[in-house]
Structure 1
Amino acid sequence: MRGGPVHPGAARILAEVLIPLAILLAVASAVFYAISAVLQEREASRESAAGLGLMARLLRRRLWWAAVGATLTGAALHVAALAAGPLVVVQPIGVSCLAIALVLGARVNRTAITPRSWAGVLCVALGLPAVLAAVPHHGPHGAPPPPGAGLGFWTVVGVLAALVAAAAAGGLLCGRRLPRGAAVCYAVGAALCFGVASATTKTLLVGHLGFGRIAVTAAAALIGTALAQHAYRGGGLGAPLAVLTLLDPLTAGAMGVLVLGEPFGTTPLTLALGLAGLVVTAVGVGLLSARRPAVAVPPPLDPLPVPAGSRG
């Protein structure tokens, strides 16, 4: 009979097939995201221009467009992984993108990964899954918008736009004096933009159409991409990618709760673990954004004195 319960044996066999498939898709998604980050950092770090000049130059680079393609591929694989398996399996695997990106970046740039960077990766890998566990992921698909959703949407978008502007201003103020601090500021702005783009895309998918929401989605994606390039240009791979991986889903989840009326669904224990994970992740971002110690170059040795009698 159609629509009846699935036989327990068939459900078990289906789970045995889909869970490995979800893991495989999640790993592939993490690899493509890592490739995209490495290519973006490689191309952006070669440019000295800023603002629209930086983007104009990057738009002429084939490898930068390859990074965009890798991002879209990674996103499609991530969605497919979520369709095949539970979020509790897929999301932690996505965190491995940071470690994969550092290894790939070290190979591409022929540099060594410092113990401080590995410690930062470990903190992010331990803390981020706990944070993401407290983020709402399921919403009322196709449900009518809650009362006041339109006003709430534009209010939240306005607040986030102000935060993005503040993050970009912080990056400009840090400038060349604190390039890694500026990179973190730009990454925060980019992550907020990507989170807005993800959340507004979800509102479009559940039927809340409108020119304003489409314009917000496009603008957030474009501004986020530009800010991410500035973050990679001055901060390398580690800290910007960690900030993006952390704040993007947090922003999207917050908008889901505030705008779409999604249930928070967090127990006190999960919330406590999420806060602890946030602290550990912040420590990891700090380790990844710390300036590398300069290698001391020994002074040149003084030439040995030549005996006077040996001079020609």
Structure 2
Amino acid sequence: MLIPLAILLAVASAVFYAISAVLQEREASRQSAAGLGLMARLVRRRVWWAAVGATLTGATLHVAALGAGPLVVVQPIGVSCLAIALVLGARVNRTPISPRSWAGVLCVALGLPAVLAAVPHHGPHGAPPAAGAGLGFWPVVGVLAAAVVVAAGAGLVCGRRLPRGAAVCYSVGAALCFGLASATAKTMLLGHLTPERVALTAAAALVGTALAQHAYRGGGLGAPLAVLTLLDPLTAGAMGVLVLGEPFGTSPLTLALGVLGLVVTAVGVGLLSARRPAVTAAEPDAPVPVGATSRG
């Protein structure tokens, strides 16, 4: 394995993911519309499409990094995306990063690798699962879809009264969608390519993107990005176990460390969800007042 190359590719992937998050948050926070209106405005913004391109580039580099080096090297580097995004966001918005936000980044950086270590990771090129393995694809999809609806509904209920809670709820729904899209794509690579699964993958990616914009719009960079980084691989890994019948492959010690890491990560998300000053959204091309996008 080419470890130095894997590290270089993983760092580049984290940088592109961070750039994408900063650009998405910047564009979403400048819009006054919500729901479909928010997406209708964003798709007309070149900067937002640049963020989409940065996401695709980051994903390609991440796959290349996994091909060049082991997961235990690549995955922890990906967590640096959160710190890189906060630094870039502070430079773009010309705002300082609070000590509370740095403490949140530290908690996520310490806790998230432990959680991800407990997630089953298997390459997409293995043999298809035996018949009867797992719980069945569509029942699991139905449960995840219901969870997405609940998360999005909770975000709507929280609304403007609890914007931080709404942002976390939206990011949970987005992460579930992205994890579902990744796992569904994997089942197609294993020989289950059907029009229904292609449509499901596209729909999950689109819904996840829309929910992520709402999360960035109300919650800034830190908490939504931390939740996405945590739940996306967890969802995909859980589907691998439940649908494909993949072995869990986690020892009791690793599982215990994963649970502890989950608690630490949750604390970090809470710190990154620090209250922000109330802001009136600006029009898409209007200048944003100094401090209007302060995160912390």
Deviation at 1:292, TM superposition (A): 4.0
- Provide, for residues 81-112 of structure 1, a one-character-per-residue CA deviation record: whole Å limited to 9, x for no partner: 00000000000000000000000000000001
Out of 201, 209, 221, the residue aligned to residue 205 of structure 2 is: 221
Q: Which residue of 2 aligns with 1:167?
A: 151
Q: Which residue of 1 aligns with 2:142?
A: 158
Cα distance in 2, alignment partners of residues 132 and 199 from structure 1: 16
Q: Which residue of 2 aligns with 1:144?
A: 128
Q: Which residue of 2 aligns with 1:191?
A: 175
Cα distance in 2, alignment partners of residues 112 and 290 from structure 1: 14
Cα distance in 1, alignment partners of residues 128 and 81 from structure 2: 36
Cα distance in 1, alignment partners of residues 44 and 277 from structure 2: 34
Cα distance in 1, alignment partners of residues 34 and 249 from structure 2: 42
Cα distance in 2, alignment partners of residues 153 and 37 from structure 1: 31
Cα distance in 2, alignment partners of residues 47 and 129 from structure 1: 34
Q: Is the 8 A contact 1:183 1:231 kept in 2?
A: yes
Q: Is the 8 A contact 2:134 2:241 kept in 1?
A: no
Out of 59, 72, 77, the residue aligned to residue 56 of structure 2 is: 72
Q: Is the 8 A contact 2:124 2:189 kept in 1?
A: no
Q: Which residue of 1 aligns with 2:241?
A: 257
Q: How many residues align?
A: 278
Answering whether residue 235 of structure 2 is matched by residue 236 of structure 1, we say: no
Structure 1 runs not aligned, ≥5 long: 1-14, 295-312
Deviation at 1:47, TM superposition (A): 0.4
Out of 11, 28, 33, the residue aligned to residue 49 of structure 1 is: 33
- Provide, for residues 219-276 of structure 1, a one-character-per-residue CA deviation record: whole Å limited to 9, x for no partner: 1000000000000000000000000000000000000001111111000000000000
Out of 68, 78, 101, the residue aligned to residue 94 of structure 1 is: 78
The aligned amino acid for 1:28 is A
CA RMSD of aligned residues (A): 1.4
Answering whether residue 16 of structure 2 is matched by residue 32 of structure 1, we say: yes
Cα distance in 1, alignment partners of residues 238 and 271 from structure 2: 27
Q: Which residue of 2 aligns with 1:122?
A: 106
Deviation at 1:293, TM superposition (A): 7.4
Q: Is the 8 A contact 1:139 1:262 kept in 2?
A: no
The aligned amino acid for 1:159 is V
Q: Tell me which of the two structures has the higher relative contact order, counting C-alpha pairs closer than 8 angstroms and 6 or more residues apart.
A: 2
Q: Which has the larger radius of gyration?
A: 1
Answering whether residue 164 of structure 2 is matched by residue 180 of structure 1, we say: yes
The aligned amino acid for 1:131 is V
The aligned amino acid for 1:97 is C
SS of the residue 2:136 aligns to: helix
Cα distance in 2, alignment partners of residues 193 and 239 from structure 1: 17
Deviation at 1:152, TM superposition (A): 1.1
Deviation at 1:202, TM superposition (A): 0.7
Q: Is the 8 A contact 2:16 2:54 kept in 1?
A: yes
